[in-house]
């Protein structure tokens, strides 16, 4: 059910591929070594993409909207950080900061504003002043 790919020279497990519901009976690598085909008693053939860098970039693209609207996740996934995603994520950070400020969390707001300004250098405002202004408006 699981295909394990090992580095023959070091004996290190490189990747486990799980997806067949029955035993795998045959595997074959593509000539360029970037894909693996597997056949199983479950009567399926699976093509596995072994170009992990390309796979990661594809995953980032699929998660694009989620990453933009969840900048805390985007911050953790450095390989998904593109200038466009960071700029769009900065807008979300500003909105989150404004909400924190209106709830009288000045420090949290300043932190969000600061991160937003790191991600989008076109954002020019005093984070502390903006947070205090929003907090005062909410009172």
Residue pLDDT, tens place only, 35-92: 889 999 999 999 988 877 777 778 889 899 999 999 999 999 988 999 999 999 999 9
What integer pLDDT is reported at residue 137 of this predicted model? 93
- The pLDDT confidence band at residue 2, using thresholds 50, 70 and 90, is confident
Provide the pLDDT for residue 18.
Answer: 86
Q: What value does the mean pLDDT of the chain take?
A: 91
Instruction: Taking residues 14-43, report their average pLDDT.
Output: 88
What is the reported pLDDT for 64?
93
More confident residue, 100 or 57: 100
Compute the distance between CA of residue 67 and CA of residue 73 in angstroms, rounded to an integer.
6
């Amino acid at each position: 059910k699981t295909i394990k790919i090992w580095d023959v020279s070091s004996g290190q497990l490189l990747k486990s591929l799980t997806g067949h519901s029955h035993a795998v009976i045959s595997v074959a690598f593509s000539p360029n070594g970037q894909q693996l085909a597997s056949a199983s008693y479950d009567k399926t053939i699976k093509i596995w993409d072994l170009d992990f860098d390309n796979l990661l970039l594809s995953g980032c693209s699929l998660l694009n909207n989620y990453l933009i609207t969840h900048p805390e996740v985007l911050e953790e996934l450095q390989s998904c950080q593109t200038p466009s995603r960071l700029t769009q994520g900065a807008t979300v950070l500003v909105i989150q900061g404004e909400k924190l400020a209106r709830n009288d969390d000045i420090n949290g707001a300043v932190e969000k504003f600061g991160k937003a300004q790191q991600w989008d250098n076109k954002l020019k405002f005093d984070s502390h002043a903006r947070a205090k202004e929003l907090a005062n408006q909410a009172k």
